[in-house]
Amino acid sequence: MRVLVTNDDGIGSPGLHALARGAREHGWDVVVAAPAEEASGTSAGLTAAGDVRRVAVERLELPGLPGVPGYAVAAHPGLIALVAAHGAFGEPPAVVLSGVNRGANIGRAILHSGTVGAALTASINGARALAVSLDVEPDDERPYWDTAVTVAAAWFDRLAALPAGTVLNLNVPNTPEAGEAQRAGLAEFGAVQSSVRDDGAGTIALTSVVVEGELPPGSDAALLAEGHPTITALRSVAEDPGVNL
């Protein structure tokens, strides 16, 4: 099984390295290609640094991954997933693993996630994809990357057996151990939402605020807040037959 491991936190992220090690230990043929610099919040964007027709790529040796090809790419993760599907890093991957992201990707706000964007891009190009995120708060001193990888690895074979184009979104609490992921729906909103204000200086300030009140029962936001890993099957871009035009 040819597997691409990517992310939006950048090629130096320990979460990326942990996920790649987990995939290799599972017996998969792994290649790692990730943004040369952080590209969070880029969704499925196809932006590349420099010339629009040429993307800078640097071959690297990654920590704890001897013999695994590693590439730092001056591009967003969506573009990395796209060019991988066209053979940029060898044989096109049958599976794309995106993460482990530092911070949860839950609710409808996953639309903006570069981690999820890479998985969605991979899916419309014929791969099965799993986005993996760890619910790390900004003040958490220790991210439990191995917990996220252990939970994700339990889905590797199930993912590989699903139809091409399948996309799964996995979120794991930042704890030393976690149980099996529970199936969850997407919350309309998460525990934190964005707030915009005009600061009066010709700029707009974007901040985060904690949402008051109960989270939607059974949603990814609610289950993750209760300490459960969550997994959600996503539908990629498709026509909507329910709209009467």
Q: Which pLDDT score, from 0 to 100, does residue 139 have?
A: 80
Q: Does the pLDDT value for residue 208 go beyond 60?
A: no
Is 229 contained in some domain? yes
| DSSP one-letter code for 75 | B
The pLDDT score that the predictor gives to residue 105 is 95
Which CATH number goes with the domain that contains 146? 3.40.1210.10
Is the residue at 200 inside a domain?
no
User: Could you tell me the pLDDT band of residue 113, with boundaries at 50, 70 and 90?
Assistant: very high
Map residue 210 onto helix, strand or coil. strand
Q: Among 132-146, 205-219, 228-242, whose mean pLDDT is lowest?
A: 205-219
Residue-wise DSSP of 168-206: EEEEEESSS---PPEE-BPPSS-SEEEEEEE-SSS-EEE
Q: Output the average pLDDT for the chain.
A: 90
In a domain, 242, yes or no: no
Give the number of domains in the chain: 1
Residue 222 belongs to some domain of the structure:
yes
**Which token pair is 47?**
């932006």
> How far apart (Å, rounded) are the C-alpha atoms in residues 109 and 187?
9
Q: Is 211 within a domain?
A: no
Total residue length of the chain: 245
Model confidence at 136: pLDDT above 50 = yes
pLDDT reading at 142 higher than 50: yes
Tell me how many degrees the CA angle 205-112-93 measures, rounded to the nearest 5: 150
Half-sphere exposure at residue 125, Cβ-oriented, CA atoms within 13 angstroms: 23
Closest CA to 23 of 99, 133, 119: 99
- Written as six digits, the tokens of 153 are 């690895």
Q: How far apart are CA 245 and CA 135, in angstroms?
A: 41
Of 12-16, 72-76, 144-148, 195-199, which range is least confident?
Answer: 195-199
| Structure tokens, 150 | 């252990």
Please provide residue 43's backbone torsions phi and psi, each rounded to the nearest 5 degrees.
Answer: 55, -135
pLDDT value of position 54 = 80
Residue 127: inside a domain, yes or no? yes
57-60 sheet: strands from edge to edge:
57-60, 70-73, 29-35, 2-6, 95-102, 128-135, 167-173, 230-234, 182-183
Residue-level pLDDT at 53: 67
The whole-angstrom separation of Cα 78 and Cα 82 is 6
206 lies in some domain: no
Residue 164, pLDDT score: 95
Residue 197 lies inside a defined structural domain of this protein: no
Give the pLDDT band of residue 174 (cuts 50, 70, 90): very high
- Average pLDDT of span 57-64: 95
Can you give the residue range of the structural domain that contains 82? Answer: 2-188+216-234
Residue 192: per-residue pLDDT: 47
The model's pLDDT over 17-58, given as tens digits with 9 standing for 90+, comes to 999 999 999 999 999 999 999 888 888 888 765 556 688 999
Q: 177-181: long-range contacts at Cβ-Cβ below 8 A with a sequence spacing of 24 or more? A: 177/147, 178/147, 178/150, 178/151, 178/227, 178/228, 178/229, 179/228, 179/229, 180/151, 180/154, 180/229, 181/151, 181/154, 181/155, 181/228, 181/229, 181/230, 181/231
So what's the pLDDT on residue 209?
Answer: 43
With bands split at pLDDT 50, 70 and 90, how would you rate the model's confidence at 197?
low
CA distance 63 to 98: 18
The stretch 64-89 carries a mean pLDDT of 96
Instruction: Tell me what pLDDT residue 242 has.
Output: 87
- 193 closest CA partner among 171, 213, 208: 208
